[in-house]
Chain A
Amino acid sequence: MKKKGIFFTLGLTLFAFVILALSLNYAKNSSSYDLKFLELSTAGRIYDLDQSLENSLASLFSDFSSMTYTASSSEAIFQYNLPYNFTRLNQSYQTFRQFANSQGNPNLVSPLQNNLSISVQPMGILFWQNLSRNSSHISYTINPPTSYSIDLNFFEANITSCTPSFSSGNFSLGVFAVGGNGSSCSYNSSINPVSLGSLQIGSTKGSFTLQVSNYSLSLIATNSSVAVTSRVGYNGNPSFLETLELLTPINVSIPGLIASKISPIRLS
């Protein structure tokens, strides 16, 4: 009888300790739960704001840049005119940026770089323009490209000369230019992509220069107006598509909250 009493008391005491331990654990988790909830909802709000900005700016770039661009696992294609007319895109981007930056965070949207750097990620191919030179360029930061294929349209201007100057090698370069009255210039060869080589195209309305050096491509329109389609080939991972990013960052933060996110604008 005495032993039963002792065991009963011990059992009750043990049970009380278990309840106490559970209560303490619950109280501890409850306070960290509030913090975690705040962190999650903050992250959610920042993510939503960042995504909506990115979508808007990517859409704006697509609507107003007068460029088309795509990227796959093996090549990126850029279509545009040289000289490039930056005004339309710049004006619309500035209008959006002014509005967005007046909604609480003056650094939310960065100014648009006038060289319009577009990066192919994760391959590390970079496309950019030099507006003052009427030129466009493709270079690399990680892996060099494997080929270039360029189509040029000189519209009504007649192509009058086509002068290549490349050292031979194992890098594929293809150029096809058409002009008025059925004139054309075609070059298809394996070149040395490291040493400087060029193709000079003359027309009745100015000239055009294509240069390759250290795997980088430059297209320069001198007093000529040309529609350009540039294809750059690379050895990407066939399991996923490369993405195109405009290297103009968005800085999303919410006043009063410590979390923030800085990201480029994904175009594709």
Chain B
Amino acid sequence: MLRLASDVVTVLDADGTLKTFDSVQIKSGMISLLPENYGMRITINSTYLTKPLIAETDTAPLEKKFIVSGKRFFYASSGTVVYPSLASFEVWQE
């Protein structure tokens, strides 16, 4: 599951979806990459944002369910200004 979650976030980083800082686009990207019975949440902290951005699938994890988590650094830029960011992710089986 860690590999699955890591791969999803890697693809969303590589195709620029994370850099949009748009929770709707990120959620859509997650859903298109995740297998059917998995849920996921991505929380982004960035100097570009005033508060953390959360994108998640529609079903929350059940109590006492196994949840895998991880982190990925990335950055967005505008001209010479860099916005470093951290995407923290959690994935679970529904």
Query: Pick the contact of B86 from A41, A45, A103 — CB < 8 Å?
Result: A103
Q: Please, how many residues of chain A have a CB less than 8 angstroms from a CB on the other chain?
A: 22
Q: Are A95 and B84 in contact (CB under 8 A)?
A: yes
Chain B residues with CB under 8 A of A41: 2, 68
Question: Looking across the interface, which residue of chain A has its beta carbon closest to that of B82?
Answer: A92
CA distance A63 to B68 in the complex (A): 33
Question: Looking across the interface, which residue of chain A has its beta carbon closest to that of B3?
Answer: A44
Chain B residues with CB under 8 A of A95: 47, 82, 84
CA distance A99 to B6 in the complex (A): 21
Known: A49-B73, A52-B72, A99-B47. A44 touches B84 (CB 8 A): no
B residues 50-79 in Cβ contact with A at 8 Å = 68, 70-75, 77
Is A48 on the interface with B (CB-CB < 8 A)? yes
Chain A residues with CB under 8 A of B32: none
Is A56 on the interface with B (CB-CB < 8 A)? yes
- Nearest 10 CB-CB pairs, A to B? A99-B84, A52-B72, A96-B84, A92-B82, A52-B73, A95-B82, A48-B6, A56-B73, A44-B2, A53-B73
Interface residues of A (CB under 8 A from B): 41, 44-45, 48-49, 52-53, 55-56, 59-60, 63-64, 88, 91-92, 95-96, 98-100, 103
